[in-house]
Structure 1
């Protein structure tokens, strides 16, 4: 009888799901915007330092893009209008430029509806 119980316990342990990362580590990665590979390689830029009320300033080809997170975007001091918003972030338009702001704090620039590059 003991062998049967031990066998059942061992079989249960062997078939239980194994999680690659803990819930707290997964939450940390989700907040930082990094992948597990970036974190392990040490190439993860900590986006946790940027809160939802901070401002990100980036440049692209002479343009100065100021993004007040969850508020507004300006391109060279001129306000941009939100034209689309979704789970990934938002798309803003200012003149011939479309600025795509992502939740991981990247900013893509489109000029005349053509992808131009990422602001740095």
Structure 2
């Protein structure tokens, strides 16, 4: 036991050494880019120059003193990006892209824009949907729902019922749920009871 103590101490010192190097490099990137840790979370790119980030609205001045005001300015720009993209802070974390338009994000299922035409048919569920694996984005199933809430999964008609404020249906061991209130974001999902897996359903 006594012989292994020096070895363990050496290994622990080696393991902590890279963290200081990474922190120093990160600090240099912040200084060079004009970003702060806060503004980086809002979109400031530490791999770009101060001038580039200033042009994007994250840095108001190239001087160090002005970097204190950068987060507030960046936040305003970030808010504009949210409004333009149709994202929210929550949906951005789930994949909504603030650099894209509302229409593009609606197509990916992150805004209610794409569901507005469906609502005009009298059914909030009508349209084309796709269920995917959250880790890979691979397709689990393609879903079609008509104006009478009739459902087809991968071309096969399945029974559907309204429950818990949404439309529920099943194909084999996989059950699907689509939220009826289209103002609610990211409430559409599938569950495989056999595999114990779950993932999102997005409007097409």
Question: TM-score, structure 2 length as denominator?
Answer: 0.32
Structure (1/2) with the larger strand percentage: 1
Deviation string for 1:14-47 (max 9, x for gaps)?
Answer: xxxxxxxxxxxxxxxxxxxxxxxxxxx4226223
Give the structure, 1 or 2, with the largest relative contact order (CA under 8 Å, sep 6 or more): 1
2:169 is the alignment partner of 1:101: no
Name the CA shift for 1:70/1:102 in 2 (closer, same or farther; >3 Å). Answer: farther
Residue segments in structure 1 that go unaligned for 5+ positions in a row: 1-40
Residue segments in structure 2 that go unaligned for 5+ positions in a row: 1-81, 88-110, 133-137
Higher-Rg member (1/2): 2
Equivalent residues in 2 for 1:33-112, closer than 5 Å: 41-42=82-83, 43=86, 45=111, 46=113, 47-51=115-119, 52=122, 54-60=126-132, 61-62=138-139, 63-82=141-160, 84-86=161-163, 88-103=165-180, 104=182, 107-112=188-193
Contact 1:79 1:94 in 2 (8 A): no
Task: State the Cα distance separating 1:115 from its structure 2 match.
Answer: 5.0
Q: How many residues align?
A: 79
Name the CA shift for 1:115/1:68 in 2 (closer, same or farther; >3 Å). Answer: farther
Task: State the Cα distance separating 1:69 from its structure 2 match.
Answer: 4.6
Partner of residue 92, structure 2: none
Task: State the Cα distance separating 1:66 from its structure 2 match.
Answer: 1.6
Task: State the Cα distance separating 1:49 from its structure 2 match.
Answer: 2.5
Structure (1/2) with the larger helix percentage: 2
Name the CA shift for 1:97/1:108 in 2 (closer, same or farther; >3 Å). Answer: same
Instruction: Find the residue that maps to 1:50 and give its secondary structure.
Output: helix
- How far apart are the structure 2 equivalents of 1:69 and 1:92? 16
The alignment yields a C-alpha RMSD, in angstroms, of 2.7
- How far apart are the structure 2 equivalents of 1:112 and 1:119? 16
- How far apart are the structure 2 equivalents of 1:89 and 1:107? 9
